[in-house]
């Protein structure tokens, strides 16, 4: 699966547009991560527990988006974007979306 955040793929032409595809996940913060983050806020630095949580969330959202693209018969997703939103206190959604296409090498 070719994935890009641009509207085109260098060296390919878009032969067919399959449609919008998306993947999302909603994750809640872990109490242990919250406690560690509170201490880190006092002294500064990276909140590694949250970095790991967001990395896992992006991976899962992308996997779900790829699965939807494959079901449509696409071999690429262009114009990929991410967005986040708070769902409730302590939980957030990470949403990935793009356009599923069939891409063919340029002549």
Q: Domain range for residue 18?
A: 2-105
Beta-strand pair 2-3/76-88: parallel
> Two tokens at 106?
């340029």
pLDDT at site 102: 98
pLDDT at site 28: 80
| Residue that is written with structure tokens 């599923």 in the block | 100
- Single pTM value for the model: 0.82
Using one digit for the tens of pLDDT, what is the confidence trace for 33-72?
A: 555 555 555 566 777 777 788 888 999 999 999 999 999 9
Confidence of residue 20 (pLDDT cuts 50, 70, 90): very high
Q: Where are the alpha helices (DSSP H) in 8-107?
A: 31-43, 48-71
Please report, for the domain that includes residue 17, its CATH number.
3.30.110.70
Domain count for the chain, please give it: 1
Confidence of residue 101 (pLDDT cuts 50, 70, 90): very high
């Amino acid at each position: 699966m070719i994935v890009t955040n641009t509207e085109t793929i260098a060296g390919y032409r878009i032969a067919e547009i399959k449609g919008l595809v998306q993947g999302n996940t909603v994750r809640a913060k872990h109490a242990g991560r919250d406690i560690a983050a509170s201490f880190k806020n006092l002294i500064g630095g990276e909140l590694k527990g949250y970095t790991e949580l967001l990395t896992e969330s992006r991976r899962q959202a992308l996997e779900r988006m790829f699965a939807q693209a494959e079901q449509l018969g696409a071999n690429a997703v262009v114009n990929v974007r991410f967005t986040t939103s708070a769902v409730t206190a302590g939980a957030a959604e990470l949403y990935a979306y793009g356009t599923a296409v069939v891409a063919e090498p340029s002549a």
